[in-house]
Structure formats: structure tokens, C-alpha cells
Amino acid sequence: MSAQPLPPPPGQPPSAQPPTAHPAPGHQPPGQPRRWWALAALLTAEAINLLDATIVQVAAPRMRADLGGPAAAVPWLTSAYTLPFAVLLLTGGRLGDRAGRRRVFRIGVTGFLLASLACACAPTLGALLAFRAVQGTAAAVIVPQTIGLIKAMFRGSETARALGTIGPVMGLAAVAGPVLGGVLTHADLFGSSWRAVFLVNVPLSLAVLALAPLLPEDRAPRRPGLDPAGSALAALATALVVLPLLAAGRTPPVWTAAGVLVAVAFVVHQRRGARRGADTLVEPSLFTSVRFPAALLALALAFAATTGLGLVVVLQLQLAGGADALTSGLTLLPMSAGLAAGSLWAGSSLVRRYGARVMPAGVGIMAVGVVAAVGAYRTGERPEALPYALAAVGLGQGLFTPAFFATALKPLRPQEIGSAAGLLNAVQQLGSTLGIAVLGRIYLAAPSAAGAQHACWAAAGVLAAVAVAGRVMSGAHDPSPAATHRPDRGPAEPNPTEANSSEATGTEPDAAESGGVSDHREATHAR
């Protein structure tokens, strides 16, 4: 599956808004009917951002064939969107804190609309990649505003109801994305071919802009700094690590080493800023224990494996199997459906009963599905058993993701929640980009069923690393949700993420998780 912004923990999406955020003076939440129309605008905006990550994955080979360019350019059509999305999420949240979330939201949707039109009219592959990057930048501006605007519009129990609608909408978007991409490309409406996958954003974006005046203005009570140096270091480190992996030829390891050094410089910069009392891009206290870094690694690797596998399946079907876009989209449907079913099951009962123990079970089922895909590809270029293997991968991911977020967010203090949610969201996008780069490159080195097997074995190795990282992140927790003592924090204390069911780690069922159905939670830094 393709990259998506960050899934919520089971039940509700984690809030990334500072606890004291409030509507700007003079603005009150809209009236009862208007609030729900305004909520529809926010949900539609999130859905189209997720759709644009998944819908292109199936249509990408046709885009490359029409516009020219090597097969190695196909992974770029997704990564050009997800990479700026990942890098700029935290900064996008800050912009809403400073300038007003409604204002920034409208600017982002307008930019996304114009970028979608530009993508649909792109005359060359290079132009399309540039416009995709603009789309990703706009998405990073839109997504972090949603939670704060919902909290500004709703009060009391209605807040939980409103936040609870995000998950199902994101789940539907993730399941529909690959299929819709295949259907639109195959239908060739008015001769538009793949361009229709971008044109579908136009009426949806216009509808969001028409409803946007119903949103209240909302901003943080204190205008935080943007930390431009931290943003630049984070962007440079990401580019130095990811871009060489996306390159068609062999690249010197010095680029990766340089990326690691810049990442270290970023960490040093954040720690120094925190000691001086300056605004930093992330909350340094998140890294005082090994657990949260292990959580970031586990999330990045999990989405690298599943997103990269989805791309390999599409490439194999279209480049070597001779399948069309519609067939490719339908082939990925079992993976999406399995993910939705697994998420519903985990969110409604399993995580409540078994806590963190659901995580390794989900990873194990994903690994079984990946190994089954290896066996399926031994039978030919278009294996009949592949959909069953993909359904297992999706089911495992659906079990893993709600349990992961419940475990990752549970020990955090209130002031860490916003920064943690933003980091998790960004790392999920980055992991998806890395999976596309690495597994796509492995497959394209031998574009055949044998190459697909190699990529699947690599995905299995990545999942083994996910299991290790998951064990580290949950090792200090009692795997049962009934745990009452945390060794690193002394006696049991109120769980900050459970203080409000709309932000919690999972007390209500969430049918929403999808492929990383991120979806997408607030990337604002809570200070």
C-alpha cells in the first residue's frame, strides 16, 4: 500500500494540538448544523490527501509510458509526493499555530487544487514530478490543521464523536484509492487516461473551499517559533538518505553517511535549543529513553515493507505480467480489505484485551503473507495465489497498527503528545518513501517474477527488524492493558493519552485504520 498520513490509535486519532489551544478571540464555534458541514470539509480534505498517495500507485506505470522516461522513474511518482509531505508536516503544524489554522487550511487546499490541475496537464515526466512535490507540500500544510479545528468547533462528548469520524473516512479512502486509480485510468474518460486521477481532486477541493468559511479561526495562545534551522537540517538529512536510494544508478555511500551526520546535527541542534528555552521542531524529552526512538524505527520499517510491497506488486503485474491498471488495482484490494478488517478487529476488542501483545502477532501475520507471496511468484508472472498472500499482509498490518499506536503513545506526558504525533506521522511517510525506493529498486534490477521474489525476501527481513524494534519499544510495558506500574515512571499515574477519549490510545473501536491510514494526525508541537 502507498504512503498515507498517520493512523490513529484504536478508537480515536491522537491529538497533536497543544492542550491550551483555543479559538481566536471573537470567534465562536459555528451553530449545530454548520459544525457538521464544516467537519465534512475537513474530512474531505484529509481523504483527498490520502487518495493522492494511493491512487497514483496503480496509475504510475501508465504515466511513465505516456510521458516517457525509464521504468526506474515510476517510484518517484509516489515519492515526489510523500517525501515533502513527511519533511514538512511539523512545520505545517507550526504555521497553523502562528497564522491561524483556518487560514492555513484554506491556503493549503487552494495550493493542492492548483497543483492537482498542474499534474493533470503536465506535458513531461519532469514537470509531473515537480507538481507532485507541490502537492505533497500542500498536503503537509492541510493535514496538521484538522484536529485543532475540530476541537475549536465541538465541545464535550461531541468532540469524541467528531474525532471518531476521521478513522472510517480515512479507511474508506485508503481502500478506495488503488481501485479508483485503476478504474479511472482504465475508463479513459474523455480521453483523459491517467490524468483523471488528478482531475478528481478538482471538484472535491472546490467543495472544501466552499465550506471552509464555516470553520472558526483557531490558533495557539502563544505564537511558537518556526525553527527554520531545525526544519532545514531535517529536510537535508532526509534528502541525503532517500534521494540516492531513488536514483536509478549506483550511488556512493558517502551520501548516506552525510545524511546520518546531518541527522546527528539535527538532534544536537534540538537539544541545544531546548536547553536555551527556544522553540524546537520536536520535543527533546522524547529521546531520553530508547523506547520512543525504537517506536519511530518500528513504524518506519513497517510501512517501508508494506508500501514497498504494494509498489512491487503493481510493477510486476504491469511491466512483466502485461496487466492493465484496473487489474492492478483490484489485485491490491484484498490487501486493503484485510487491513480494514484487521484494524476493526484490533480496535474493537483485541487491543483492549491483549494490549501490546497484538503487535508481534500482527508482524507475524504480515511476515507469513510476504513469504506466501514469495511462493506465489514461483508459479509465474501473474500468480493466482497472490491475492491471498496480500490479504494476509493487510490483515497483519491492520492488527499491528492500532496496537502500535496504543503502545507508543501510552507512556508519554501531555506536553510530549503533540510533538510525538507529528514525528510519528512524518516517520510513517518517510518509511513509505524508503520502502518504495529500496524495494522498487530491488525489483527493477530484475523486473520479473524472480525480482519480485527478491523484493519480498527483503520485505521479510525488514519485518524481522520491526519485530525487534517493537520488542524494545514495548519491553518496559506490561503487555496487558491492565498494567498498573511502569518501571521508568514509578507508580502508576494517569495516562495522558487517555484523559480525553478523543485523543486516547484506544478505548473505542476504530474501523479506520488502513494501510497506514494515517492518516493523519496533528503535527503541531506541544510546548
The two counts, helices (H) then strands (E), for the chain are: 18, 4
Asked whether the beta carbons of 467 and 368 are under 8 A apart, the reply is no
**DSSP code of residue 517:** B
**CA 335 to mean position of chain CA atoms:** 16
pLDDT for residue 130:
94
Closest CA to 135 of 237, 48, 203, 67: 48
Q: Is the pLDDT of residue 231 over 90?
A: no
Asked whether the beta carbons of 82 and 33 are under 8 A apart, the reply is no
Asked whether the beta carbons of 311 and 303 are under 8 A apart, the reply is no
Q: Is the pLDDT of residue 31 over 70?
A: no
The whole-number average pLDDT for the span 264-275 is 86
Give Cβ neighbours of residue 139 (< 8 Å, ≥ 6 apart): 5, 49, 52, 81, 85, 108, 112
- 395 CB neighbour count, 10 Å cutoff: 26
Distance CA 336, CA 424 (A): 21
Distance CA 358, CA 165 (A): 24
Task: Name the 3-class secondary structure at 219.
Answer: strand
Task: Name the 3-class secondary structure at 23.
Answer: strand
**CA 384 to mean position of chain CA atoms:** 30
Residues of the chain with pLDDT > 70, as a percent, come to 78
Band (467; pLDDT cuts 50, 70, 90): very high
Distance CA 75, CA 439 (A): 10
Q: Cell for 412?
A: 508519554
Distance CA 516, CA 6 (A): 6
Band (112; pLDDT cuts 50, 70, 90): very high
Q: Are strands 485-486 and 490-491 parallel, antiparallel or unpaired?
A: antiparallel
pLDDT for residue 414:
62
Residue 255, classified by CB atoms within 10 Å of its CB into exposed (0-12), middle (13-18) or buried (19+), is middle
Closest CA to 416 of 287, 269, 275: 287
Distance CA 194, CA 187 (A): 9
Residue 311, classified by CB atoms within 10 Å of its CB into exposed (0-12), middle (13-18) or buried (19+), is buried
Distance CA 325, CA 317 (A): 9
For residues 262 and 148, which has the higher predicted lDDT (pLDDT)?
Answer: 262
Q: Cell for 472?
A: 524494545
Q: Is the pLDDT of residue 10 over 50?
A: no
Q: Is the pTM of this model over 0.75?
A: no
H-helix or E-strand containing 49?
helix 32-67
pLDDT for residue 491:
38
Closest CA to 138 of 92, 191, 90, 87: 92
331-354 pLDDT, tens digit each: 888 988 888 888 888 877 888 888
Distance CA 140, CA 236 (A): 17
Asked whether the beta carbons of 134 and 81 are under 8 A apart, the reply is no
For residues 258 and 9, which has the higher predicted lDDT (pLDDT)?
Answer: 258
Distance CA 289, CA 403 (A): 20
Q: Are strands 218-219 and 22-23 parallel, antiparallel or unpaired?
A: antiparallel
Give Cβ neighbours of residue 320 (< 8 Å, ≥ 6 apart): 381, 447, 448, 449
For residues 181 and 365, which has the higher predicted lDDT (pLDDT)?
Answer: 365
H-helix or E-strand containing 491?
strand 490-491
67-71, 100-104, 156-160: least confident range: 156-160
